[in-house]
Each structure stands twice: as C-alpha cells, then as structure tokens.
A and B are shown apart, each in its own frame.
Chain A
Amino acid sequence: MRTILYIIQKEFLQVFRNKSMLPIIFVVPLVQLIILVNAATFEMKHIRISVVDFDLSGTSRKLISKFQGSPFYQVQSTSFSYKEAEDDMKMGKVDMILQVPSGFEKQLVCENHAKVQFVINAINGQTAGLTNAYSTMILLDFNRELVLNNSTPAMTAGLRDIQTDYSYWYNPKLNYKTYMVPGILVLLVTIIGLLLSGMNIVREKEIGTIEQINVTPIIKIQFIAGKLIPFWIIGLFELAFGLSIGKLLFNIPMEGSLGLIFLSASVYLFVILSFGLLISTITNTQQQAMLVSFFFLVVFILMSGLFTSIESMPQWAQNLDRLNPLMYFIRIMRMVLLKGSTFADISSHFWSLVIYAVVIISVAIRRYRKVA
C-alpha cells in the first residue's frame, strides 16, 4: 500500500510541476465547455430566403409578408430573375428560394389551386428538412386564412379540423444548452482522461525511465494502480467542477441524484483510464499512442449519440455501439440529470460499464509486462 502511495505522489508531482500541462488539463476544457455549449445548437433562427415573385399580385404579396412576419425567416433579397437568386444560393448567401410563378393569383381564383416553389439548399440534409417543415407549416396556415377570408360558412360546413397541441417535456423551451452541457462535459473528461493515461506509460517507455521502475520491487498491480488513481481523481474533480459551472452558468437541471452520477462516473472513468493504459501498453512511442487514442476518440464521440441520434443508425451499428463506453455514460448523465431517472432505470447501462471496466482492466494488466 505504501508503494502505491509513493507512485501516486510521484504522478501528482509530475502533473503539477509541468506548468504548461496544468492549464490544458483544468482551464482549457472549462473554457471549451462554456464556448462549445453555446455553439452546439441545431436551433434554426434565421432561415435566409430570396424571394422571386413573378406574379406581383395581392395574394403573392400577402404570402411573402407572411414569411417575412415569421421569426424564423429573414428575407435577404428580392429579384425578378431566378438565375440571380440561384447565384445567391451558390454564394451561400441564402438558404431557400421562394418562387411564385406568374399567373399565380389568377390560377388560384379560376382553378382553386396554385403552386409555389420552395428551392432549398440541401447540403445539410437536416436543416433542409426543418426548413421544409417550417415553410410547409406557414403555407398551411396561409391556406387556412385564405379559406376563411374567401368563403361562405356554407362552403366550410363540411370541413373538419383536428387540433394538435404539442408539449415538450423535461425541457419545455427546447433549450439546447441543458441538453449539451452533460454531453460535452463527458467528452472533455473523456479526452483528458484518455490522453493522460494513454500517454503516460508509453512516455516512460520512450524516455527510458520505465526500466528504472522495472528493476524496482514494485509489482504490476501496484504500478498500474499508482498510475490510474491520480488521473481518476483528476477526472472526478474535473467532472465536479464542470457540473458546478453548468449549474451556475447554464442553470442545467439536476433532477436525479448526484450520488448516482458520481457512482457511474467513477466506473466510467475507470473504463476510460484502463483503455488508455491498454493503448499505452500496446504502443511504443507517444506518437503512436496519440494516433490510436485519437482514432478511438473520434469514433466514440461521433457515435455517442451526442450529435446524431443512435436510434437512426442501422442495426449493426447500434450493436457495434454497445462497445462504446461514452454512449452509456452520456445516456446515464442525461437520464439522471434531465429526467431524474433512478438506479433502476439506468441499471442496464450501469452494469454494462462495470463489465466493460472489469474486462478492459484485466486485458491491460495481462498486456503489461515488466520487461523492456
């Protein structure tokens, strides 16, 4: 036990002595948390549209002002040439072109129906889908008004209406920040944890100091415990710090029990740090270790369900995602913090993490040899 304490002391000394490491471990992630949480939003505020109105009738003007009046839209330009509008789209100045063909109003009056065109820049499929949904909604609304203003009660007698109310639970204002803070915090803790532990042993290998440790009577378990515990403490501390910032700055809800969060976090950090150790034992240089960690980080992060939903992945990818520790922990964080889920609700995720931890630490210990 004394031996482990000495190794822990040594590791802490090494971390705290390095003046350029400290800000990277503690300050940069928190600054990033504050910045990135504000950036990570899918909210659509200003859909910039270009209006090409060939009809210039009362109805077309009303339709356009309907779009103008919506807080989601911002009329960027009006022109009489479709070519010009398309050029604006190519330049990236507008997201959608609203084109009203000539003879629009006449057709509407004579034939009872007429067409308008939405031309949407769909490079980003998701925003294009939302733009389409919003625009259709506005048009439906406009249609309803049109009918009410231009028809007699007898004509509308047969019409039926279903009123849809919607409500958003757990986050009624669709505040992206409360959704992002737990996720991004997990990312930052993961990146720091994986890098610190992944680089650690391999660094000793590269500099040659590992041999000095190898000739001491320290046994494998002591060495690995001594390496893991300091980063484990740093990680938990960082999580706590990040959570308090999330509470103070972004006022994220904490519906569930904090104890449950930290219980899961300690298991999760153990998984990540052991993963780093494993990388450290199978590589020879820091450069290799870094590349391997980077590879796994990108895959883990992008498949974690933070940015895209896991349900829409193909089934084989969802099965593969069971190997992604981040996925479990981000789910746990969100469920507990935002929805107040209890241990029973998260138990399957929790036990998955526990199994993960046991498996990966035993592999890491097996792979680590006390030879150069």
Chain B
Amino acid sequence: MKRFRGFVIKEFYHIFRDYRTLLILFGMPAVQLLLFGYVLTNEIKDAKIAIYDPSKDVVTRKISEKILSSGYFILEKNLTHVSEVDPVFRQGNVKLVLIFESDFASKLEKYGTAHVQIIGDASDPNTANMLVNYASGIISNYLVSRNTGQVPMQIIPEVRMMYNGELKGVYMFVPGLMAMLLMLISALMTSLSITREKELGTMELLLVSPLRPTQIIIGKVFPYVFLSFMDACIILGLGNAVFGVPIQGSILLLLLESFLYITMALSLGILISSITSSQQVAMLVSLVVLMLPTIILSGFIFPVENMPWILQVFCHIMPPKYYIIIIKSIMLQGNGIRYVWRETLILMGFTSLFLILSVKKFNVRLT
C-alpha cells in the first residue's frame, strides 16, 4: 500500500509540474462553456432578407413592417426586379426573399385573396425551414388580426414550454459539453499517459518494480479521476452561476452519475492504451474515433430520434448518449433515480466491459 501511495504521488507530480497541461485541463472547460453559453444559440434573429414589393400599398407595407419588427429579420435590400433574387442569394448574405404580387391590396379587397411568395436559401436547410416558418407565421397572424370579429369560430392554442421556458440553447450545451469534455479528458489523458511510458521505455521500469500491473494501472488512472471530477464541478458550477442552468434534482445523484461516467471513460482510455503502442496512434484513435461521434451521435446537437434507424443502433453504443440523458433528466427535469436507472445500468455495463477487455489485452511483457 505504501508503495502504491508513492506511485500515485509520482503521478500527481508528473501532472502538476506540467503547468501548461494543467492550465489547459482546467481552463479549457471554463473557456469553452463561457464561449458556447454566450455564442451558440439555435434561435434565429436578425436574419437578412430582401423584399420585392411592386405594389407598395398599405397592406404590403404593413406586412413588411410586421416582419421587420419581429426581431427575426432585418432588411438587407429592396429588390427592383425578380431576376435579382438569384444573385442576391449567391452573394451569400440574404437568407430569405419575400415577393409580393402586384396590386396586392386591391386584389385582396376585390377577390378576397392575394399571393405572396417566400423563398428560402435552402443551401442551409435548417435555417431556411425555420425562417420560412417564422415568416409565414407572421403573415397568418396579420391575417388573423385583420379578420378578428369576423371569424365565427376559433380554437386558440395555449403553449407551455416545459423545463426551459425561454428556449435557451445553454440548456442543451451544458450536458453535451460535460459529456464531451469528460470523455475526452479522461479517455485521452489516461491513454496518453500510459502509452507515453511505453514510448519512452519507462514502462519496463515500472513493470519490473514490485508493483503489480493492476496497481500500476490504478495508480495511473487515479489522478485523472480527481482532475475530471474537478472539471465536472467547474462546468456545473459555471453553468449554474453564469447561465442559470438549474440543478433541479439531487446534486449527490448527479455527482455519483458523473463519477460513474468518468470511470467508464477512464476504462475506455485504459483499453485504448493497451491496444496501441505510440502516443500518436492513441491520440488519433481517441480524437478521430471519439470526438465527432461524441458530438454528433450522442444527442448533443442532433436529436437521436430523427436519425435513420440504422444510425440509432450506432447511437445506442455511444456511452455519452446515456450520460447526456441522465444529466438532462436530473438537472433540468428534476428526476430521481427511478427515471434513469436503466441508463445507469447501461453505463455500468460499459465500464465493466471495457475493464474486462483491457485486463485481457494487457501484456506484462512489452515486446
């Protein structure tokens, strides 16, 4: 035990004397959270639009005014001819073009109907879809207010946004960022620190020492458990203090689940290090194999339910997905273990799977 303690202390020295790594380890989550909390929103505001309005009458002006004062759009250009639509899109600033037909108001009066065309730049389909929805919503609102008193029957929706009344983007990013950073720090740092000893040749020194292989591995991993845990606390604290992301459920449960996730990521790191021989390979495996899938397949940004079924199968083998479900459920919905026991069990399963695999793969002899 005393030997083991000495070994762990050595590992801590290794980490703490490398102040650059340390700075990155603690600075990175903080900076990223602050950056993304302020920067990344899925809401759309101030999208640039161009309007082609040949009639310029009371109604079209009223509609344009409503659209421009909604906060979603700002006017970039008044077009003078329909043929200008294509070049204006190609320059890349304008996202939406509104085309009124000529004699709009008089047609509306005379025939009871008039046409307006909305064209979205769908080279970005998501934004285009939302903008078109907003614009047509504003127009139908205008219509409803114009027709009030004349409509015989109407059902009015009463909308309640649960758990995130202001539709803030940070609510998605805090859990996602935690899942991603903890995964990468834990898995990457451990795999690097073990392969590094292999690469420099000091692994042999450790192996011939009286320490048992399990002790070496645990000793290597231990400091990173500590560091990752501190990172988790930093992200949670900042998210709560700066962005008001609530922690509705039990903090203890949240920390326990994070601990479980960190352990899972560390065992994945051990597994990676036991099947790779150089830092470069370990790193590329961790980054290329873990990074993009963690961002895209975990439900961090793109909802899993909307993917094709075959990809949903892939998503099910991504551990971060379960962690994100768990922390969203605890933090934002205030749920207890009753709602997340299944995901917890799955994470435990992953942890033991990775551990068993790495024990099988671990070689006491290096060459």
Taking CB atoms, residues of chain A closer than 8 Å to B43 are 125-126, 129, 312
Q: Are A113 and B297 in contact (CB under 8 A)?
A: no
A133 → chain B, closest Cβ, in Å? 5
Q: Are B32 and A121 in contact (CB under 8 A)?
A: no
Cβ of A16 under 8 Å from chain B: no
Q: Are A302 and B36 in contact (CB under 8 A)?
A: yes
Cβ of B210 under 8 Å from chain A: no
B interface: dominant SS: helix
**CB-nearest residue of chain B to A307:** B301
Contact partner of B189 among A287, A299, A340, CB < 8 A?
A: A287
Q: Are B157 and A339 in contact (CB under 8 A)?
A: no
C-alpha spacing A284/B329, complex, angstroms: 42
Cβ of B83 under 8 Å from chain A: no
Q: Are A162 and B139 in contact (CB under 8 A)?
A: yes
C-alpha spacing A299/B34, complex, angstroms: 11
A363 → chain B, closest Cβ, in Å? 18
A interface: dominant SS: helix
Taking CB atoms, residues of chain A closer than 8 Å to B142 are 162
Q: Are B132 and A120 in contact (CB under 8 A)?
A: no
Taking CB atoms, residues of chain A closer than 8 Å to B123 are 169-171, 179, 334-335, 338-339
- Known contacts being A21-B280, A90-B333, is A297 close to B117, with CB within 8 Å? no
Cβ of A18 under 8 Å from chain B: yes
Cβ of B78 under 8 Å from chain A: no
Give the number of residues in A that approach B within 8 Å (Cβ atoms): 123
**CB-nearest residue of chain A to B315:** A39
Taking CB atoms, residues of chain B closer than 8 Å to A44 are 306
Q: Are B155 and A160 in contact (CB under 8 A)?
A: no
Q: Are B95 and A90 in contact (CB under 8 A)?
A: no
Cβ of B302 under 8 Å from chain A: yes
- Known contacts being A21-B284, A179-B124, A312-B43, is A114 close to B292, with CB within 8 Å? no
A328 → chain B, closest Cβ, in Å? 12
Q: Are A147 and B161 in contact (CB under 8 A)?
A: no
C-alpha spacing A162/B136, complex, angstroms: 10
Q: Are B157 and A136 in contact (CB under 8 A)?
A: yes
Cβ of A35 under 8 Å from chain B: yes
C-alpha spacing A44/B184, complex, angstroms: 30
C-alpha spacing A151/B153, complex, angstroms: 9
- Known contacts being A125-B167, A335-B92, is A89 close to B162, with CB within 8 Å? yes
Contact partner of A112 among B154, B166, B276, CB < 8 A?
A: B154
**CB-nearest residue of chain A to B101:** A163
Binary interface profile of B, 125-169, with partner A (CB < 8 Å = 1, else 0)?
A: 111111011111101101100110011111111111111111111
Q: Are B159 and A160 in contact (CB under 8 A)?
A: no
Q: Are A120 and B162 in contact (CB under 8 A)?
A: yes
Contact partner of A314 among B38, B157, B184, B283, CB < 8 A?
A: B38
B61 → chain A, closest Cβ, in Å? 14
Binary interface profile of B, 287-298, with partner A (CB < 8 Å = 1, else 0)?
A: 111011101110
Q: Are B24 and A288 in contact (CB under 8 A)?
A: yes
C-alpha spacing A163/B112, complex, angstroms: 10
Q: Are A119 and B160 in contact (CB under 8 A)?
A: yes
Q: Are A42 and B306 in contact (CB under 8 A)?
A: yes
Q: Are B146 and A126 in contact (CB under 8 A)?
A: no
A118 → chain B, closest Cβ, in Å? 5
- Point out residues on A near B: beta carbons under 8 Å: 18, 20-21, 24-25, 28-29, 32, 35-36, 38-46, 48, 63, 89-92, 108, 112-130, 132-133, 135-137, 139-140, 142-143, 146-147, 150-151, 155-156, 158-172, 174-176, 179, 184, 187-188, 191-192, 195, 199, 203, 206-207, 283-288, 290-292, 294-295, 297-299, 301-303, 307-309, 311-314, 317, 331, 334-335, 338-342, 345
The 3 closest A-B pairs by CB, nearest first: A125-B167, A168-B122, A126-B42
